[in-house]
Amino acid sequence: MTHLQTRAVGYSAPVPQGSRPAAVPIYQTSTFEFDDPDAAAAALRLPDRGYAYTRHSNPTTRALENAIADLEGGTAALATSSGMGAINAVLLALLRPGDHVIAQARLYGGTRSVLGRLADRFGIGVSYIAGDDQAELAEALRPRARVLYLETITNPTTQVANLPALLADGRAAGLTCVVDNTFATPVLCRPIEHGADVVVHSATKYLGGHDDVVAGLAVFADRDLHRRIWRFAVDLGVVADPFAAWLVLRGLKTLPLRMARHCENAGHLARFLDGHPEVTNVRWPGLPGQPDHELARRILDGFGGILCCDLAGGPQGARPFFGRLRCAAFAPSLGGPRTLVAHPASSSHRELDAGALRAAGIGEGTIRISAGIEHHEDLIADFEQALKP
Protein backbone atom coordinates (compact mmCIF):
# COMPACT_ATOMS: atom_id res chain seq x y z
CA MET A 1 0.00 0.00 0.00
CA THR A 2 1.84 3.08 -1.22
CA HIS A 3 -0.85 5.73 -1.60
CA LEU A 4 -1.87 7.88 1.35
CA GLN A 5 -5.58 7.36 0.74
CA THR A 6 -5.16 3.58 1.06
CA ARG A 7 -2.84 3.70 4.07
CA ALA A 8 -5.24 6.04 5.90
CA VAL A 9 -7.88 3.31 6.14
CA GLY A 10 -5.71 0.20 6.29
CA TYR A 11 -4.32 0.19 9.83
CA SER A 12 -5.22 -2.37 12.50
CA ALA A 13 -5.16 -2.36 16.30
CA PRO A 14 -2.01 -3.90 17.80
CA VAL A 15 -2.44 -7.21 19.64
CA PRO A 16 -0.60 -7.20 23.02
CA GLN A 17 2.33 -9.60 23.13
CA GLY A 18 3.57 -10.83 26.49
CA SER A 19 1.07 -8.74 28.48
CA ARG A 20 -2.65 -8.14 28.79
CA PRO A 21 -4.80 -5.12 29.67
CA ALA A 22 -5.72 -4.78 33.35
CA ALA A 23 -9.18 -3.44 32.38
CA VAL A 24 -11.44 -4.80 29.66
CA PRO A 25 -10.82 -2.77 26.48
CA ILE A 26 -13.69 -1.03 24.72
CA TYR A 27 -14.04 -2.71 21.35
CA GLN A 28 -15.75 0.27 19.76
CA THR A 29 -16.15 -1.33 16.37
CA SER A 30 -19.24 -2.21 14.39
CA THR A 31 -17.64 -5.02 12.39
CA PHE A 32 -14.74 -7.49 12.49
CA GLU A 33 -12.43 -8.63 9.69
CA PHE A 34 -11.83 -12.26 8.71
CA ASP A 35 -9.44 -14.30 6.64
CA ASP A 36 -11.93 -17.20 6.55
CA PRO A 37 -15.51 -16.62 5.27
CA ASP A 38 -16.71 -19.77 7.05
CA ALA A 39 -15.54 -18.38 10.40
CA ALA A 40 -17.46 -15.18 9.71
CA ALA A 41 -20.62 -17.15 8.92
CA ALA A 42 -20.27 -19.18 12.13
CA ALA A 43 -19.84 -16.03 14.22
CA LEU A 44 -23.03 -14.58 12.76
CA ARG A 45 -24.97 -17.79 13.31
CA LEU A 46 -24.12 -18.59 16.95
CA PRO A 47 -23.35 -16.32 19.95
CA ASP A 48 -20.23 -18.22 21.06
CA ARG A 49 -18.42 -18.68 17.74
CA GLY A 50 -16.44 -15.45 17.63
CA TYR A 51 -17.22 -11.88 16.62
CA ALA A 52 -18.39 -10.66 13.24
CA TYR A 53 -20.83 -7.80 13.80
CA THR A 54 -21.46 -5.98 17.08
CA ARG A 55 -25.24 -6.38 16.86
CA HIS A 56 -24.55 -10.11 17.17
CA SER A 57 -21.64 -10.09 19.60
CA ASN A 58 -18.70 -7.98 20.74
CA PRO A 59 -15.75 -8.76 23.05
CA THR A 60 -16.64 -5.97 25.48
CA THR A 61 -20.28 -6.95 25.75
CA ARG A 62 -19.24 -10.61 25.96
CA ALA A 63 -17.01 -9.77 28.94
CA LEU A 64 -20.02 -8.21 30.68
CA GLU A 65 -22.24 -11.16 29.80
CA ASN A 66 -19.70 -13.63 31.15
CA ALA A 67 -19.26 -11.60 34.34
CA ILE A 68 -22.96 -11.33 35.17
CA ALA A 69 -23.61 -14.97 34.24
CA ASP A 70 -20.92 -15.95 36.72
CA LEU A 71 -22.30 -13.70 39.48
CA GLU A 72 -25.87 -14.93 38.97
CA GLY A 73 -24.91 -18.59 38.62
CA GLY A 74 -26.15 -18.83 35.04
CA THR A 75 -24.70 -20.49 31.97
CA ALA A 76 -24.87 -17.46 29.63
CA ALA A 77 -26.19 -13.92 29.45
CA LEU A 78 -27.40 -11.32 26.99
CA ALA A 79 -26.47 -7.63 27.30
CA THR A 80 -29.14 -5.26 25.98
CA SER A 81 -29.58 -1.55 25.36
CA SER A 82 -31.83 -1.11 28.43
CA GLY A 83 -33.61 -3.05 31.11
CA MET A 84 -36.82 -2.77 29.12
CA GLY A 85 -34.92 -4.11 26.11
CA ALA A 86 -34.05 -7.22 28.12
CA ILE A 87 -37.64 -7.65 29.37
CA ASN A 88 -39.14 -7.18 25.91
CA ALA A 89 -36.66 -9.51 24.23
CA VAL A 90 -37.37 -12.26 26.76
CA LEU A 91 -41.16 -11.95 26.75
CA LEU A 92 -41.53 -11.51 22.99
CA ALA A 93 -39.26 -14.50 22.34
CA LEU A 94 -41.12 -16.74 24.79
CA LEU A 95 -44.72 -15.85 23.94
CA ARG A 96 -47.03 -16.40 20.99
CA PRO A 97 -50.54 -15.03 20.38
CA GLY A 98 -53.02 -16.65 22.73
CA ASP A 99 -50.45 -17.62 25.36
CA HIS A 100 -50.87 -16.80 29.04
CA VAL A 101 -48.60 -15.07 31.57
CA ILE A 102 -48.84 -15.25 35.35
CA ALA A 103 -47.23 -12.19 36.87
CA GLN A 104 -46.74 -10.64 40.26
CA ALA A 105 -49.18 -7.77 40.81
CA ARG A 106 -46.70 -5.34 42.33
CA LEU A 107 -44.39 -5.04 39.34
CA TYR A 108 -42.41 -2.15 37.89
CA GLY A 109 -44.79 0.05 35.94
CA GLY A 110 -42.91 -0.41 32.67
CA THR A 111 -43.32 -4.18 32.93
CA ARG A 112 -47.04 -3.82 33.65
CA SER A 113 -47.28 -1.60 30.58
CA VAL A 114 -45.54 -4.19 28.39
CA LEU A 115 -47.84 -6.94 29.63
CA GLY A 116 -50.86 -4.75 28.92
CA ARG A 117 -49.72 -4.09 25.37
CA LEU A 118 -49.03 -7.77 24.79
CA ALA A 119 -52.60 -8.48 25.89
CA ASP A 120 -54.04 -5.79 23.61
CA ARG A 121 -51.99 -6.57 20.49
CA PHE A 122 -51.51 -10.33 20.61
CA GLY A 123 -54.33 -11.63 22.77
CA ILE A 124 -51.92 -12.80 25.46
CA GLY A 125 -53.72 -13.44 28.73
CA VAL A 126 -52.27 -12.04 31.94
CA SER A 127 -53.20 -13.11 35.47
CA TYR A 128 -51.79 -11.19 38.42
CA ILE A 129 -50.95 -12.86 41.70
CA ALA A 130 -49.72 -11.50 45.02
CA GLY A 131 -46.35 -13.25 44.89
CA ASP A 132 -46.54 -15.06 48.20
CA ASP A 133 -49.39 -17.58 47.78
CA GLN A 134 -48.85 -20.96 46.10
CA ALA A 135 -52.58 -21.66 45.99
CA GLU A 136 -53.12 -18.41 44.08
CA LEU A 137 -50.53 -19.49 41.51
CA ALA A 138 -52.21 -22.87 41.11
CA GLU A 139 -55.59 -21.19 40.59
CA ALA A 140 -54.12 -18.88 37.92
CA LEU A 141 -52.77 -21.73 35.76
CA ARG A 142 -54.30 -22.09 32.28
CA PRO A 143 -53.67 -24.59 29.46
CA ARG A 144 -51.78 -21.90 27.50
CA ALA A 145 -49.80 -20.62 30.50
CA ARG A 146 -46.20 -20.21 29.42
CA VAL A 147 -44.44 -17.71 31.71
CA LEU A 148 -44.27 -16.92 35.41
CA TYR A 149 -42.90 -13.42 35.98
CA LEU A 150 -41.74 -12.21 39.42
CA GLU A 151 -39.57 -9.52 41.01
CA THR A 152 -37.21 -10.50 43.82
CA ILE A 153 -37.89 -7.17 45.55
CA THR A 154 -40.76 -5.27 44.00
CA ASN A 155 -40.61 -1.75 42.65
CA PRO A 156 -41.39 0.37 44.63
CA THR A 157 -43.12 -1.35 47.55
CA THR A 158 -40.18 -3.68 48.38
CA GLN A 159 -42.33 -6.78 48.68
CA VAL A 160 -40.13 -9.90 48.67
CA ALA A 161 -41.42 -12.66 46.41
CA ASN A 162 -41.53 -16.20 47.74
CA LEU A 163 -39.08 -17.39 45.10
CA PRO A 164 -38.35 -20.90 46.45
CA ALA A 165 -42.01 -21.92 46.58
CA LEU A 166 -43.37 -20.13 43.51
CA LEU A 167 -40.48 -21.03 41.21
CA ALA A 168 -40.70 -24.69 42.21
CA ASP A 169 -44.43 -24.72 41.47
CA GLY A 170 -43.97 -22.77 38.24
CA ARG A 171 -41.36 -25.16 36.89
CA ALA A 172 -43.47 -28.15 37.93
CA ALA A 173 -46.31 -26.67 35.85
CA GLY A 174 -44.02 -26.32 32.83
CA LEU A 175 -43.71 -22.52 33.00
CA THR A 176 -40.60 -20.60 32.02
CA CYS A 177 -39.81 -18.66 35.20
CA VAL A 178 -38.48 -15.12 34.79
CA VAL A 179 -37.31 -13.03 37.75
CA ASP A 180 -36.39 -9.35 37.71
CA ASN A 181 -33.48 -9.13 40.14
CA THR A 182 -32.71 -5.41 39.66
CA PHE A 183 -33.37 -4.34 43.26
CA ALA A 184 -31.53 -7.26 44.85
CA THR A 185 -28.62 -7.73 42.42
CA PRO A 186 -26.68 -11.00 42.66
CA VAL A 187 -25.08 -9.64 45.84
CA LEU A 188 -28.33 -10.10 47.77
CA CYS A 189 -30.05 -12.89 45.84
CA ARG A 190 -29.38 -15.27 42.96
CA PRO A 191 -32.80 -16.43 41.69
CA ILE A 192 -31.35 -19.20 39.52
CA GLU A 193 -30.37 -20.94 42.77
CA HIS A 194 -34.10 -20.96 43.63
CA GLY A 195 -35.18 -22.31 40.24
CA ALA A 196 -35.45 -19.30 37.89
CA ASP A 197 -34.92 -19.96 34.18
CA VAL A 198 -34.19 -16.33 33.31
CA VAL A 199 -33.02 -13.41 35.45
CA VAL A 200 -33.36 -9.87 34.07
CA HIS A 201 -31.75 -6.64 35.23
CA SER A 202 -31.94 -2.98 34.51
CA ALA A 203 -28.16 -2.59 34.57
CA THR A 204 -28.81 1.15 34.54
CA LYS A 205 -29.40 0.85 38.26
CA TYR A 206 -27.13 -0.90 40.78
CA LEU A 207 -24.98 -2.88 38.35
CA GLY A 208 -23.77 0.25 36.57
CA GLY A 209 -24.13 2.15 39.81
CA HIS A 210 -23.03 5.63 38.75
CA ASP A 211 -26.07 7.19 36.99
CA ASP A 212 -24.16 7.33 33.71
CA VAL A 213 -25.34 4.39 31.61
CA VAL A 214 -28.54 2.84 30.28
CA ALA A 215 -28.28 -0.92 29.77
CA GLY A 216 -29.99 -4.22 30.52
CA LEU A 217 -29.09 -7.86 31.07
CA ALA A 218 -30.78 -11.23 30.85
CA VAL A 219 -29.12 -14.25 32.44
CA PHE A 220 -30.07 -17.83 31.56
CA ALA A 221 -29.91 -21.07 33.48
CA ASP A 222 -30.01 -23.03 30.21
CA ARG A 223 -27.70 -22.40 27.24
CA ASP A 224 -30.30 -23.49 24.67
CA LEU A 225 -32.79 -20.95 26.02
CA HIS A 226 -30.06 -18.30 25.84
CA ARG A 227 -29.44 -19.08 22.15
CA ARG A 228 -33.15 -18.94 21.39
CA ILE A 229 -33.59 -15.52 22.96
CA TRP A 230 -30.23 -14.26 21.62
CA ARG A 231 -31.45 -14.89 18.07
CA PHE A 232 -34.62 -12.93 18.75
CA ALA A 233 -32.70 -10.06 20.41
CA VAL A 234 -30.37 -9.84 17.40
CA ASP A 235 -33.37 -9.50 15.09
CA LEU A 236 -34.99 -7.02 17.45
CA GLY A 237 -31.80 -4.95 17.58
CA VAL A 238 -31.74 -4.35 21.34
CA VAL A 239 -28.14 -5.40 22.04
CA ALA A 240 -25.90 -3.24 24.22
CA ASP A 241 -23.40 -0.74 22.88
CA PRO A 242 -19.75 -1.66 23.76
CA PHE A 243 -19.18 1.56 25.69
CA ALA A 244 -22.35 1.01 27.73
CA ALA A 245 -21.22 -2.55 28.45
CA TRP A 246 -17.83 -1.22 29.55
CA LEU A 247 -19.46 1.23 31.97
CA VAL A 248 -21.47 -1.59 33.56
CA LEU A 249 -18.32 -3.72 33.81
CA ARG A 250 -16.66 -0.87 35.66
CA GLY A 251 -19.59 -0.70 38.05
CA LEU A 252 -19.52 -4.43 38.78
CA LYS A 253 -16.07 -4.13 40.35
CA THR A 254 -17.48 -2.18 43.30
CA LEU A 255 -20.98 -3.69 43.39
CA PRO A 256 -20.55 -5.71 46.64
CA LEU A 257 -19.06 -2.70 48.45
CA ARG A 258 -21.75 -0.34 47.23
CA MET A 259 -24.63 -2.71 47.99
CA ALA A 260 -23.46 -3.07 51.58
CA ARG A 261 -23.58 0.72 52.01
CA HIS A 262 -26.90 1.08 50.17
CA CYS A 263 -28.47 -1.50 52.49
CA GLU A 264 -26.95 0.11 55.57
CA ASN A 265 -28.22 3.57 54.68
CA ALA A 266 -31.67 2.25 53.75
CA GLY A 267 -31.86 0.74 57.22
CA HIS A 268 -30.92 4.02 58.89
CA LEU A 269 -33.55 5.90 56.88
CA ALA A 270 -36.25 3.26 57.39
CA ARG A 271 -35.78 3.29 61.15
CA PHE A 272 -35.79 7.09 61.22
CA LEU A 273 -38.95 7.36 59.12
CA ASP A 274 -40.81 4.57 60.90
CA GLY A 275 -43.01 6.33 63.42
CA HIS A 276 -42.19 9.85 62.16
CA PRO A 277 -45.33 12.00 62.53
CA GLU A 278 -45.18 13.18 58.90
CA VAL A 279 -44.74 9.67 57.47
CA THR A 280 -46.99 6.60 57.35
CA ASN A 281 -46.61 3.04 56.15
CA VAL A 282 -42.83 2.67 55.86
CA ARG A 283 -41.97 -0.37 53.75
CA TRP A 284 -38.51 -1.95 53.90
CA PRO A 285 -38.10 -5.69 54.42
CA GLY A 286 -35.42 -5.17 57.04
CA LEU A 287 -37.88 -3.70 59.54
CA PRO A 288 -39.11 -6.29 62.07
CA GLY A 289 -42.85 -6.64 61.77
CA GLN A 290 -42.93 -6.23 57.99
CA PRO A 291 -45.09 -8.95 56.38
CA ASP A 292 -42.16 -10.52 54.52
CA HIS A 293 -39.37 -9.81 57.01
CA GLU A 294 -38.78 -13.47 57.84
CA LEU A 295 -38.88 -14.49 54.16
CA ALA A 296 -36.36 -11.75 53.39
CA ARG A 297 -34.09 -13.01 56.17
CA ARG A 298 -34.26 -16.47 54.64
CA ILE A 299 -33.64 -15.76 50.94
CA LEU A 300 -31.77 -12.43 50.88
CA ASP A 301 -28.20 -11.64 51.89
CA GLY A 302 -29.28 -8.12 52.86
CA PHE A 303 -32.53 -6.15 52.82
CA GLY A 304 -31.87 -3.85 49.87
CA GLY A 305 -31.20 -0.19 49.31
CA ILE A 306 -34.78 0.79 48.42
CA LEU A 307 -37.53 1.78 50.82
CA CYS A 308 -40.83 3.50 50.31
CA CYS A 309 -43.37 5.24 52.47
CA ASP A 310 -46.42 7.48 52.32
CA LEU A 311 -46.32 11.10 53.36
CA ALA A 312 -48.99 11.99 55.87
CA GLY A 313 -49.81 15.11 53.85
CA GLY A 314 -50.53 13.07 50.73
CA PRO A 315 -49.71 14.54 47.32
CA GLN A 316 -50.05 18.06 48.74
CA GLY A 317 -47.24 17.35 51.17
CA ALA A 318 -45.00 15.70 48.61
CA ARG A 319 -44.19 18.76 46.52
CA PRO A 320 -42.74 20.91 49.34
CA PHE A 321 -40.89 17.87 50.71
CA PHE A 322 -39.19 17.25 47.36
CA GLY A 323 -38.27 20.91 47.06
CA ARG A 324 -36.60 21.03 50.49
CA LEU A 325 -34.22 18.11 49.89
CA ARG A 326 -30.58 19.13 49.72
CA CYS A 327 -28.41 16.06 50.34
CA ALA A 328 -30.84 13.79 48.50
CA ALA A 329 -32.33 14.69 45.13
CA PHE A 330 -35.67 14.22 43.38
CA ALA A 331 -35.09 11.99 40.33
CA PRO A 332 -36.95 9.12 38.63
CA SER A 333 -34.14 6.54 38.72
CA LEU A 334 -32.27 4.64 41.44
CA GLY A 335 -29.19 2.64 42.35
CA GLY A 336 -26.57 5.38 42.03
CA PRO A 337 -24.20 6.86 44.62
CA ARG A 338 -26.54 9.73 45.54
CA THR A 339 -29.76 9.19 47.45
CA LEU A 340 -32.67 9.72 45.05
CA VAL A 341 -36.33 10.20 45.91
CA ALA A 342 -39.08 9.56 43.38
CA HIS A 343 -42.86 9.83 43.12
CA PRO A 344 -43.92 6.48 41.56
CA ALA A 345 -47.48 7.53 40.67
CA SER A 346 -46.12 10.17 38.28
CA SER A 347 -42.91 8.44 37.17
CA SER A 348 -42.17 4.70 37.27
CA HIS A 349 -45.88 3.76 37.40
CA ARG A 350 -47.35 6.74 35.55
CA GLU A 351 -49.12 4.55 32.96
CA LEU A 352 -51.20 2.71 35.58
CA ASP A 353 -54.76 3.79 36.24
CA ALA A 354 -56.07 4.36 39.77
CA GLY A 355 -57.16 0.74 40.22
CA ALA A 356 -53.84 -0.66 39.05
CA LEU A 357 -51.98 1.76 41.33
CA ARG A 358 -54.01 0.55 44.30
CA ALA A 359 -53.31 -3.06 43.34
CA ALA A 360 -49.62 -2.24 43.21
CA GLY A 361 -49.78 -0.69 46.70
CA ILE A 362 -49.03 2.82 45.45
CA GLY A 363 -50.85 5.95 46.57
CA GLU A 364 -50.61 9.54 45.39
CA GLY A 365 -48.51 10.30 48.46
CA THR A 366 -46.17 7.32 48.08
CA ILE A 367 -42.49 8.13 47.70
CA ARG A 368 -39.65 5.77 46.78
CA ILE A 369 -36.23 6.30 48.31
CA SER A 370 -33.08 4.89 46.77
CA ALA A 371 -30.50 5.15 49.56
CA GLY A 372 -27.11 6.27 48.30
CA ILE A 373 -23.66 5.94 49.81
CA GLU A 374 -23.51 9.22 51.74
CA HIS A 375 -22.92 9.37 55.49
CA HIS A 376 -26.16 8.32 57.13
CA GLU A 377 -26.17 11.21 59.62
CA ASP A 378 -26.25 13.71 56.76
CA LEU A 379 -29.11 11.84 55.13
CA ILE A 380 -31.18 11.72 58.30
CA ALA A 381 -30.61 15.43 58.91
CA ASP A 382 -31.69 16.20 55.36
CA PHE A 383 -34.89 14.16 55.63
CA GLU A 384 -35.65 15.64 59.03
CA GLN A 385 -35.52 19.21 57.77
CA ALA A 386 -37.41 18.36 54.55
CA LEU A 387 -40.25 16.75 56.53
CA LYS A 388 -40.86 19.71 58.84
CA PRO A 389 -44.47 20.85 58.42
191: domain CATH number?
A: 3.40.640.10
Per-residue HEC secondary structure of 36-58 comes to: CHHHHHHHHHCCCCCCCECCCCC
Choosing from 252, 270, 288, the residue where a domain stops is 252
Q: Is residue 11 part of a domain?
A: no
- Of 11 and 200, the one with more pLDDT: 200
Q: Is residue 106 part of a domain?
A: yes
Choosing from 210, 234, 252, the residue where a domain stops is 252
Q: Is the pLDDT of residue 360 over 80?
A: no
Active centre residues (catalytic): 55, 108, 180, 205
> What is the number of other CB atoms lying within 10 angstroms of the CB of residue 358?
11
User: Could you tell me the residue range of the domain that residue 156 belongs to?
Assistant: 37-252
Choosing from 252, 281, 301, the residue where a domain stops is 252
Same domain, 191 and 322: no
| DSSP three-state, residue 263 | helix
Same domain, 45 and 183: yes
265-314: pLDDT as tens digits: 999 999 999 989 999 999 999 999 999 999 999 999 999 999 999 998 88
Same domain, 263 and 203: no
Q: Is residue 7 part of a domain?
A: no
Q: Is residue 242 part of a domain?
A: yes
Looking at residues 154-179, what average pLDDT do you find?
97
Cα–Cα distances (Å) from 52 to 33, 41, 45, 64, 289, in that order, read 7, 8, 10, 18, 54
User: What confidence tier does 203 reach under pLDDT thresholds 50, 70, 90?
Assistant: very high
65-86: pLDDT as tens digits: 999 999 999 999 999 999 999 9
The count of domains in the chain is 2
